Amino acid sequence: MARPDDYAARPPAGERLCALADIADPGAKAFRFRDGDLLFAGFVVRAGELIRGFIDRCPHAAYPLGYYGTDQFLTKAGDRILCAAHGALFTLEGEGVCNPCQGQWLTPWEVEVRDGDVFTAAFTPPAPRTPDARAG
Ligand code: FES
């Protein structure tokens, strides 16, 4: 689930992240953006035609998924995203397939490929919660 601070340091749509060829196939690549004290942490997964971006936070205990300082987010076989903290596995589309994250989803980070480069894509931040929404 997205949090309001996921969006504070998030790069705007249209920012070039890297060349597609810079991401192993299958593989992943971490990205960090800082805005003052705020940090946005995301990663992009590549497997053939599949390109997906995610916010780098496990739904179990909110730890970053990858091994710190690396682009290692996938299992050795390259067919699952692995949380390095407690071993949760996710499909490359972001669905948790074992405990402690069975049935939970990684938070998407919208990205797209244009002319061989990976860019941030347009997104709609969730509406802020209101007292009425919490009561419902
Ligand atoms: S933080 Fe990912 S499995 Fe615990």
Which among 43, 82, 83 is the best mutation to test ligand 1's pocket, defined by most ligand atoms within 8 Å of the CB? 83
CATH of domain 4-123: 2.102.10.10
Nearest CA residue ID for atom 1, ligand 1: 61
Q: Which residues line ligand 1 (CB under 6 A)?
A: 58, 60-61, 63, 83, 85-86, 88, 100-101
Choosing from 54, 55, 57, 58 the residue with most ligand 1 atoms within 8 A of its CB, the one to mutate for a pocket test is 58
What would the pLDDT profile of 29-63 be if each residue is shown by its tens digit? 999 999 888 999 999 999 999 999 999 999 999 99
pLDDT band, residue 136 (cuts 50/70/90): very low
Phi-psi group of 7: left, alpha or beta (phi > 0 → left; psi -120 to 50 → alpha; rest → beta)? alpha
Determine the distance separating the centroid of ligand 1 and the alpha carbon of 9, expressed in angstroms.
23
53: tokens are 């971006």
**Closest alpha carbon to 111 in 3, 11, 25, 26:** 11
Q: Please say if the pLDDT value at position 125 is more than 50.
A: yes
pLDDT tens digits, 72-120: 999 999 999 999 999 999 999 999 999 999 999 999 999 999 999 999 9
Are 34 and 56 spatial neighbours (Cβ–Cβ below 8 Å)? no
Domain ranges within the chain, ordered by starting residue: 4-123
Please give the angle made by the CA atoms of 43, 91 and 120, to the nearest 5 degrees: 30
pTM of the model: 0.88
